[in-house]
Structure formats: C-alpha cells, structure tokens
Structure 1
Amino acid sequence: MSIQSKHEENYNQDRVKSQKNITSPAEYFEGVIDVPVYDWLFTMEQIQRESPSRRLTNVKQRIGFTEECQKRAKGIVYLFACNKQMKLSRCVALTASILFHRFYMKRDFTNYHYFEIAATCLFIASKSEECRRKLSDVVKVCASIALTGRMSNKVTEESKIYWKWKDVIVNLEELILEVLCFDVTPVNPYKICFDILDLSEDDDNSNDEHEDKLFSTCTNFLELLSRLPLSILFPVNVICGLGLLLSCASSEVQLPSNAFNKLQISREEIWRSYCTAMKLAQSLESLRQPFPILSHIPKLNHKSAMGIGENVDKDGGDEN
C-alpha cells in the first residue's frame, strides 16, 4: 500500500467514526437564536474532567486528557500547514487556533474530526480577519493536506473528495458559528505583540531591527504554544507576555521599556502560564515530529523568569 493510500485510508476510517451521532446544523437555527456570552476561559480541572470528550454517554467513545491534548496539537499543526499553503497571515492561523480550542470545549473529538474542524475554523478566520480565500481554494488545500500531507493534483473540482470536503466545510461553518455564539473575532496575540513593540506596517524600514527580530521570534513561540489549549486557560495578554518572555530567553535580549506594564500583567502571571505550558507540552512527547514542542521551549526557573528581558530605566529602577 502506498503512503498516499495509507493516509487516505486512515483519514476515512477516522471520519466514519466521526459521522455518528452528528446533529444537523439546521436544527440549531429554528426560530430566534438566544446568543449567550462567554469569556471562554476555563480551569485546568474543567478541561481535564469536564471536557465534552470525557462526558460522552457512550463510555467507549470517551478519550483521555492526554489523547485530547494530542488531537488538539495535530489539528493545529494541520491548520498552520493549510494556512501556509494558502499564503495567509499567521494572524489568521492564530485566530483560527483560538476558535478551534474553544469549539472542543463545547463539542467532542469523537464525533467531530479535528482536520475538518481545523479547516473550517481557518475558513471562518480568513473571513473575520479580512484575508478571504475562495471556498474552492480552501477545499483543495485542506483536502489535499488532510489526505496526503501535501498539495495533490488529484483534488480537483471534478473529484468526489472535493465535493465531499466542500459539503463538510459548508455544513460545519454553520455549526461552529452557532457553537461559538458567532464570536469569531477574538483578541489576537499577534496583534497585541505588534502594538506593544510599536511596529509599523509601512514598508519604510522605520522599525527597529531589534524589535523586528523580537517580534519574529515571539510569533514563532506563539505558533508553537497555539498547539496547547492555553488560549482557553489564560487571557490573551498573558499568552502574549509569555511569548515575549520566551523570545527574550532564547535570544538574550531586553524587552522594550514597560512592555509588561502595557500588557497589564505581572511576571508571576507569566510564570504560571509557563509552568502550565510545560506541563501540557509533556503530553505531546510521545508523538513523532513535528508535534512535540518541549525541546523548543527555553528551560526556566522562577528566579530566571523574574529577570529575563528586564529593562532598567534611566533612574536605575526596574520597569516593574
């Protein structure tokens, strides 16, 4: 059996399992929709014990916390691969990753395949971030990468798999919008980091080289961290602060003056998010590359985290 055939067989087997007990999106749109408001933040205990994937009526269909973390990571890696192939901004992928993690706090992994949810979240995010792509292009890219791991000429508008994926994305878009209460424009850590570093979008070379490098490194860490469900455990400014802290730790550079004050967070909050990230990252270590991230995250202790990137003002005092 070829690698492509094996990919397709494994995906189709998972998808068949995922089609059981799925409620039609149309059933959610009868009459006026009463849209509740969520802050979308949960405790670790809620994710570990109360995730929909551990509350299924059929005990045999339930999955453990570690397996859920692994499926989340696989979905996000796939999402970023599709995002890159479509030449979308990382900002779009980060927004899509937030929607992805939120969705699985309302629905389970057994009935909703993470490739299909990730693809649909990316399609929604491309519209909410005003970086639209044609549905046909999204379908071709997402179907190809899901089935073969790369772009394939076999996914054309005449192929059965194209129409199968098109129907999936169209139907899931309605469901995801309803599940997320149409809240598809979450605050994006990419944008916060951009603003904190006072970067300019103009191509006039006005940005400081040091801050450009810090921003690039930070977005790399934000992409890695998005594989973990941190966005439903911590406020976005804390995650952004963690990205900046790890950037400083890896490149031994200073943060801009008052960076954490602008984020309105303390180093202790960032330290707690770091400890949580390291704990969650352990669950990915049994996976093959490229899913594990532990080796890419600087190893810190409490003392070093309190001083990394520290900037001293003209009066000799710390920024914090």
Structure 2
Amino acid sequence: MSQNKLSLQNALLTLEQLQQTPSREDDITEEQEDNLRQLGCHLIQTAGILLKLPQVAMATAQILFQRFFYMASLRKFAVRDISMGSIFLAAKVEECPCRVTDLINVIDHLCKKFKRKATEPLVPFSHDYYHLKDAVVIAEMQILKKLAFNVHVQLPYAIMVNYLKVLELTDHPTIPQRAWGFLNDGLRTSIYICYQPPTIACGVIWLAAREAGVPLPTSPAWWEVLDSDLEDIENIAGHIKSLYFKALPIPDLPLTIEQVEPYIKRDSNNGSHATPPSKGTRVSRFS
C-alpha cells in the first residue's frame, strides 16, 4: 500500500502484499486469516446496525479493518479491538461520531452473544469497562499508525447508482437491490483493497444482472464504456459469490488475543480459500 503521496483514489495493495500478509508470516493459514477477517467485518456491520450508524460508516470501518491487517498480524492484534477502533475512527471520518460508552457496550454484548455466553450488561466503570475503553483508544492509534494516517476511503455506492442510470436499470425490480447487497457483502472480501470503486460498481451490476437473467449491452461493450475490464469484473463477482458457499463458524473463532493461540494451532488443513483477487488472477469465470 503506497503511502508516498496523497491521492483521492483508494490505496490499493500490491500483489506481494496480497500473497504474503503479516498474518501468513506469523504461521496463520490462509483459511484462518480469511475466517478472522470475515468475523471482524461481521462484528463491525452488526455493531454498526445496533449503533444506528449509516452504512457508509460501517463500510468505511470494514475497509479500514481490512487494510490494517495487511499491515499487521492477526496474531498480534485482536479482531475485537481493531473492529472497535475501526468503527470509532470511521464514525469520525464519516462525520457521524459515536460515544465510546455506546460502542463498548454494544461490542461487549455482541462478543458474549457470539461466544454463546450470558449477555449481562457491562457494569459501568468496572475493570472490564475500562479495559475495553482503553482498547478502543489504543486500537484507533494503531490503525492510524499502521496506515500512516491515510484513512481516505472512496465508496462505490453512488457510482453504482449512476451506472445503473446509464444502463437504464434503476427501475428494474431486483437488480438495484441485489447490486447494493453485493456491495455490502463484498466488504468481507479483499475486493475493496484490490480494485477502485468504479470497477467494483461494474462487478456488482454485472453479477446482479446475470442473476436476474438480464443481458447487458455488448455493442459497444458496456464495461469498456465505463472504463473497466471484463476479467476484473468477473473476478470481483467470483469473490462475492464465494462468500455464500461456506458458513462462518463464529463461536469457534477468536475475538481476543488470548483466544488466538489455541485457534491457530488447530489442524485446519481441510481445504483452502481462493487467493485474494489480483489483476490477472481469475477466481471464477461464469459461462
């Protein structure tokens, strides 16, 4: 992720960063890392809904979370803490700040619920309360440090709406809603740190139109008119679709550092996920 100059575009990862992450160097398997990334994004999205944050804040938080763990190892930083820090920072970036007290109460409730524990309310000003409060502040500073204070995030939602207008699909009964949902689901993958928003917008429209059985213009090719590459579009669609073929085993996944070591020592060599999407790497070609 280049930090040499300020850009209005999203910071994207290099192929080397995608293939050899800090977590992989710390002996966390690709499958384990993928599960933990999805867990963090799921925690952020669920917490954001309970906190009544706008979707743009939840999306920004998930992208910051994903970027952070391409700069740091899941063996050294807890999913729970970085999720909290990402929400707290993203809420500021998107100008919808949330109270620390509300944030840690929601996160504490969700963590207990995920682990199937009794969900007693967090006692105000208790040891656990201050521990989580400190964790939020530390996590926010770690995210800023690792990302070199580059927390700019451009989202594809508005771009997608404009592209639907260009393609005359805004009034279709299913395509706009499906495409919007694919944008949200795609936050749990690596597409937002591999492709710029216009390409992602094309990817979700292509996937939604394909599922609806609606042909898109090919003369001229609509993706060329929108300055995108068909291979990139298919790759994005493939990664989004791959989410729906495996249930996330949330109760078994570690939320804190103390829970990480037993998890990474398990024998999880029962298959592997596809590699992160990079240019020239096709995940799934739909015929």
Structure 1 length as normaliser, TM-score? Answer: 0.66
C-alpha RMSD of the superposition: 3.6
Does residue 189 of structure 2 align to residue 228 of structure 1?
yes
Distance of 1:258 and 1:125 partners within structure 2: 37
Q: How does 1:111-150 map to 2 (within 5 A)?
A: 111-149=76-114
Distance of 1:142 and 1:269 partners within structure 2: 36
Unaligned runs of 5+ in 2: 254-283
Q: Could you say if the C-alpha distance between residues 254 and 172 of structure 1 is closer, same or farther in structure 2, counting changes exceeding 3 Å?
A: same
Give the aligned partner of residue 51 of structure 1. Answer: 21
Does residue 234 of structure 2 align to residue 271 of structure 1?
yes
Give the aligned partner of residue 12 of structure 2. Answer: 40
Q: Could you say if the C-alpha distance between residues 68 and 249 of structure 1 is closer, same or farther in structure 2, counting changes exceeding 3 Å?
A: same
Give the aligned partner of residue 140 of structure 2. Answer: 173
Deviation at 1:189, TM superposition (A): 1.8
Secondary structure of 1:247's partner? helix
Q: 2:206 aligns with which of 245, 269, 283?
A: 245
Identity among equivalent pairs (%): 24
Larger radius of gyration: 1
Distance of 2:226 and 2:77 partners within structure 1: 36
Give the aligned partner of residue 45 of structure 2. Answer: 80
Distance of 2:149 and 2:222 partners within structure 1: 32
Distance of 2:160 and 2:130 partners within structure 1: 39
Q: Could you say if the C-alpha distance between residues 100 and 255 of structure 1 is closer, same or farther in structure 2, counting changes exceeding 3 Å?
A: farther
Distance of 2:243 and 2:204 partners within structure 1: 15
- 1:41 touches 1:235 (CA, 8 Å); kept in 2? no
Equivalenced residue count is 248
Structure 2 length as normaliser, TM-score? Answer: 0.73
Q: What do residues 53-111 of structure 1 show as CA deviations (whole Å, max 9, x unaligned)?
A: 1224xxxxx20111111111111111111011111122211111111111011100001
Q: Could you say if the C-alpha distance between residues 216 and 161 of structure 1 is closer, same or farther in structure 2, counting changes exceeding 3 Å?
A: farther
Moved more, 81-90 or 227-236: 227-236
Deviation at 1:168, TM superposition (A): 0.3
Deviation at 1:156, TM superposition (A): 4.0
Q: What do residues 282-303 of structure 1 show as CA deviations (whole Å, max 9, x unaligned)?
A: 9x73744899xxxxxxxx8544
Secondary structure of 2:64's partner? helix
Unaligned runs of 5+ in 1: 1-34, 57-61, 200-207, 292-299, 304-320
Secondary structure of 1:186's partner? coil
Q: Could you say if the C-alpha distance between residues 133 and 261 of structure 1 is closer, same or farther in structure 2, counting changes exceeding 3 Å?
A: farther
